[in-house]
Amino acid sequence: MQVRTTVDTAGAELMDVRFVSGEAYEVAVRGHRVTVDQPADAGGEDSAPTPTELFVASLATCVAFYAGRYLTRHGYSREGLGVSVGFDMAADRPARVGTVRLRVRVPADLPVERWPALAAVVSHCTVHNSLTIPPVVTIDLI
């Protein structure tokens, strides 16, 4: 069975999400599959990350990608590059991520005087930009 992302008439990429079982769902995107689930205390089987965890992970991996590209572009190694991320849910409603803390582990060969430029680059990754200037979200029932 081939799974692929399709393009709608407006040119937007489409992903497909389908029910698996319990609280688990599978996302199909460009021939890849990603499963999400909920922890046992939320009725799931904890078989995969939650959608919220993937949301935060998308920010961390986008930051890592931008950092890696910066390093390569300027002739530095990516060896040792990493990003740790923590998040807290907001205490009030609506339910949402309230804070995200990212820590970029900078490779040893990047001089400290280059750190501000690296910080500027990673703070403008696509996912961060999408949080800063949120997209229009529409939901249609069909």
User: Where do the structural domains in the chain lie, given as residue ranges?
Assistant: 1-48, 50-142
What is the Cβ-side half-sphere exposure of residue 131, based on CA atoms within 13 angstroms?
17
Average pLDDT over residues 15-25: 97
pLDDT score recorded for residue 3: 43
Span 70-91, pLDDT tens digits = 999 999 999 999 999 999 999 9
Report how far residue 115's alpha carbon sits from residue 140's, in angstroms, rounded to the nearest whole number.
44
pTM of the complete model: 0.89
Confidence category of residue 2, pLDDT binned at 50, 70, 90: very low
Residues in the chain: 142
Residue 105: CB partners within 8 Å, gap ≥ 6? 80, 81, 82, 83, 84
Contact 52, 34 (CB under 8 A): no
Span 49-72, pLDDT tens digits = 999 999 999 999 999 999 999 999
What architecture is domain 50-142? 2-Layer Sandwich (3.30)
